[in-house]
A and B are shown apart, each in its own frame.
Chain A
Amino acid sequence: MSVTMPTTPSTPASGALTYEEKRHARNLGIAYIVLAGITMIFLTGHSGTATFNLDGGRSFGLPAQPLAWFVAASLSVVAGIQLWRGFGKWTNVVLAMASLLIFMSFLSWAAAGREFSFIGMLASAVTFSTPLIFGACAGIMCERSGVVNIAIEGLLLNGAFTSAFVGSIASGWPGMGPKSGFWVGVLAAMITSALFAWLLAWLAIRFKVDQVIVGFFINFFVLGLTSFLSSRVLTENPDYNDTPTLGAWKIPLLERIPVLGQILFQQTVFVYAAYVLVVVFTWFLFRTKWGLRTRAVGEHPRAADTLGVNVLRLRYRNVIMAGAIAGFGGAWWTATLGRFNENITNGRGFIALAVVIVGRWHPVGALSAALLFGLFDSVADKLSLLNTGLPSEFIKMTPYLMTIVVVAGFVGRSRGPKAAGQPYESQ
């Protein structure tokens, strides 16, 4: 019986769509038409075959012009179906497929008649997304418990500075090599970022300072302090700013998987740690008592308090843990570059905030969003080499535009925890 029932009781039948759902479906249909038009007008301009190099000398070619026509045609069909009757539960799958088609058509257009390291682009997308994943997980951990964290940028920056500074000093200690010194630096980064996060929680909870303002204070303060220390201490003592870079740590067997191996399993420890973090965090958030309490406190602290949850203590604990995660994420820069530069994070913490929102306050969503944002970064990076005439600024802009589209709810609204940003007073 249950096999033949296509709709479960929880999802409304297609006739009972709310106004908002109808609007989203319509907007999506219009978006498909616009994308089909863009594909037809712009991406059919280059002729020739684009050769995409994979690992081990393998490659595949895509003819740019026929592909663009094909994509434009399929998008028109998809738009028609979307506007006519919608895709129901397949909406997101169709959207993903359509995005993939446009993306491939775009790459073929950009690399028409030339070679392009496809796998290199994907691998560097994974690399670029790593600090975003840490930053976003830190953000989610705070916001799910009802504390808005604008300070991700500052916590990451502090992590980068402290890991470079302490890591360099610690490697000079007796019995310490550069490698073990680096990990001492990472530990210090986690502790100091946790302290800054505690400051955030303390000011926001104890003194009820507005959380956005505290977040900005921490960003300003860390930026000023690290720049100050960098020019006052690090430039005069270059030894204090010199750590080893972390090489790739190839996972045996898995690294030999064709294509995927090079993208996912020939990366640094930080990349693996990011994936482990997402898995563990998701499990904790949705399968444990702590996770349930966190979500309850973020949505309705009064109710959680009534049931005996210590709201403020939980918030303190979550924010401090988030700080440690962000501090670890900040050490990624040190591991990659082997040194600290002023304002090295350069706004990545704010992108991580966008990742939190586009990922809808869910670790796995944040992982996908971070990968997507990383992909845009690496495409912008690689395209500047191909010299297509398309300014890389516009590709770099896409994640920000996308974030606006998501928060504005043009295609599905992203809603934050209800109590985020509001101080709580137990009665």
Chain B
Amino acid sequence: MTAATVDGSPAAAPEEKPKLVVFFDRIDAYNNLLLPFLAIVSALIVGAFIIGLTDIDRLKEGDIGGILTTIKDAYIALPTGALGSLGGISETIVSATPLILAGLCFAVAARSGLFNIGATGQMFAGGMASVWVGFTMDGPGIVQVPLALLAGIIAGGLWGGIVGILKARTGAHEVITTIMTNYIAGLLTLWLLKTEAFQQPGKDNPVSKTVSDKGRLPELFFWSDDPSLRAHWGFLVALGGAVFMWWLFERSKVGFELRTFGSNADAARYAGMKPATLTTLAMFIAGGLAGLGGATQIIGTQGYATESFAGSIGFDAIAVALLGRNKPVGIVFAAFLFGILEAGGRKMQLETDIPLDVVLVLRALIVLFIAAPALTRLIWRLKSEGSTSVLQFRGWGA
């Protein structure tokens, strides 16, 4: 465990430097900028090979130029589709919003030394709670929306807290319990969506009642009449979540204890901190963030719950948190990148016939090159420079 994990700043900020320089000194350019950049480039290169080698018709004809054009078109369609128009930007934000919150969820737990892969289940819990508040209440939006978000935080937090309590009381490993609670939450959601209390009347498929317009998060681009601009204030909520995480770990006493516990559980114990409380608290906060993500997905993006509203967001969030190095700012940028891939991927699919699934491959490769900095350094012939390990699995032990 290196000390650099705390804030990544080797310099102690001498007074005579101007503020801007100090600010740039605080950024660990090598680990926070260069390596992620190279990881993305490496992923795109491997992705290009995958796109090229699967173009069977052109390969048979030996049309190498055609293949290169396809790859070029695809990689141009990705950014232009995501950022080239207001609609694209809106879609990027829609994709990035839950990823930010779920990524924060993973990061909060990770910096407290816990491997929380239960964001999916916690999103289900939060989303279902908020949709229930959303369709049962009929008050003014200024009351109802915060209540629905709060319900999401609490439900997600409790769902995560269960895992924390299990870990604290019995030592049950959180990797296993979160995988299991993900499935349980998914099945509970499916069941709830078929009950009278939740199911939309007159529907056979598991779809919940709709949240009234007043109960929805307001549109982000409120000045525009275009209904296809789906981005909503959930994005601001997500940014608020990032600020909260920054405050938690950089400014609060609890965060300091969580951080200490995360980097050295024994030291924390000797210093008189309570591991059981910290574990439960970390999982509660993490679950609350994911629950908030589920809530924004429901009362922001969809307006109703389906059996798959959490989708693969909970798992993608792991990648987002890794890419963002478990730091709030990094996570916001990483979620944006993933949002760009998602929104741009849809345009790419339309224009070049390359399936959207290539985005999954690119994401996985980015995770690989981020998680294995030694591999990235080897490929790009870089020298090692104080890399920080993200999180170390400590075995199944009790």
Binding site for B on A (CB under 8 A): 148, 150, 203, 207-214, 216-217, 220-221, 223-225, 227-233, 236-237, 342, 347, 350, 353-354, 357, 391, 393-394, 396-397, 400-401, 403-404, 407-410, 413, 415-422
Contact = CB atoms under 8 A, between A and B. Distances in A.
Nearest to B376: A207
B351 to A, nearest CB: 15
14 contacts: A148-B396, A208-B374, A212-B115, A213-B371, A216-B367, A220-B319, A220-B360, A227-B360, A228-B361, A391-B194, A403-B176, A409-B171, A415-B396, A417-B396
A409 B172 contact: yes
Contact of A393 (B181, B188, B390, B393): B188
B50 A210 contact: no
Contact of A408 (B172, B194, B315, B364): B172
B397 A418 contact: yes
Interface in B104-162: 115, 117
A403 B179 CA distance: 10
A216 B361 CA distance: 12
Given A233-B54, A407-B172, 12 more contacts: A211-B393, A214-B371, A214-B372, A220-B364, A221-B361, A232-B354, A353-B179, A354-B180, A357-B176, A408-B170, A409-B172, A418-B397
B379 to A, nearest CB: 11
A407 B177 contact: yes
Nearest to B162: A404
B364 A217 contact: yes
Contacts of A210: 371, 389-393
B177 A404 contact: yes
B396 A420 contact: yes
A195 to B, nearest CB: 15
A404 B394 CA distance: 19
B183 interface: yes
A209 B371 contact: yes
B187 A397 contact: yes
A232 B172 contact: no
Contacts of B322: 213
A176 to B, nearest CB: 20
B187 A393 contact: yes
Interface in B154-202: 166, 169-173, 175-177, 179-181, 183-184, 187-188, 190-191, 194
B368 interface: yes
Given A409-B172, A416-B396, A350 B364 contact: no
Nearest to B169: A408
Contact of B187 (A396, A407, A415): A396
The 4 closest A-B pairs by CB, nearest first: A224-B360, A416-B396, A220-B364, A221-B364
Nearest to A351: B183
Contacts of A216: 117, 315, 318, 367
Contacts of B315: 216, 220
B50 A225 contact: yes
Nearest to B56: A233
Interface residues of B, number: 55
B362 to A, nearest CB: 8
Contacts of A233: 54, 56
A210 B372 CA distance: 9
Contacts of A413: 398
A403 B181 CA distance: 10
B7 interface: no
Given A225-B361, A227-B357, A353-B179, A209 B372 contact: yes
Most buried by A among B180, B190, B365, B389: B180
B306 to A, nearest CB: 15
Contacts of B176: 353-354, 357, 403-404, 407
B363 interface: yes
B371 A422 contact: no
A227 B359 CA distance: 11
Contacts of A221: 361, 364-365, 368
A404 B397 contact: no
A227 B117 CA distance: 22
Contacts of B395: 148, 416, 418-422
B162 to A, nearest CB: 9
Interface in B232-257: none
B174 to A, nearest CB: 10
Nearest to A212: B393
Contact of A203 (B170, B190, B375, B390): B375
B66 interface: no
Most chain A CB inside 10 Å of its own CB: which residue of B194, B389, B397: B397
Nearest to B171: A409
B355 interface: yes
A228 B181 contact: no
A400 B180 contact: yes
A224 B179 contact: no
Nearest to A213: B371
Contacts of B374: 207-209
B358 interface: yes
A383 B272 CA distance: 53
A224 B166 CA distance: 33
B396 A421 contact: yes
Contacts of B392: 210
A53 B315 CA distance: 44
Contacts of B360: 220, 223-225, 227-228
Contacts of B171: 409
B364 A224 contact: yes
A237 B395 CA distance: 45
Contacts of B398: 409, 413, 415
Contacts of A220: 315, 319, 360, 363-364, 367
Given A393-B190, A416-B397, A212 B56 contact: no
Contacts of B359: 224
Contacts of A354: 176, 179-180
Most A CB atoms within 10 A — which of B115, B365, B371?
A: B371
Contacts of B358: 224, 228
Contacts of A396: 187
Contacts of B54: 228-229, 232-233
Contacts of A237: 56
A146 to B, nearest CB: 9
A6 B181 CA distance: 43
Nearest to B374: A207
B322 to A, nearest CB: 7
A342 B188 CA distance: 24
Contacts of B393: 148, 210-212, 421-422
B368 A403 contact: no
Contacts of A400: 180-181, 183-184, 187
Nearest to B177: A404
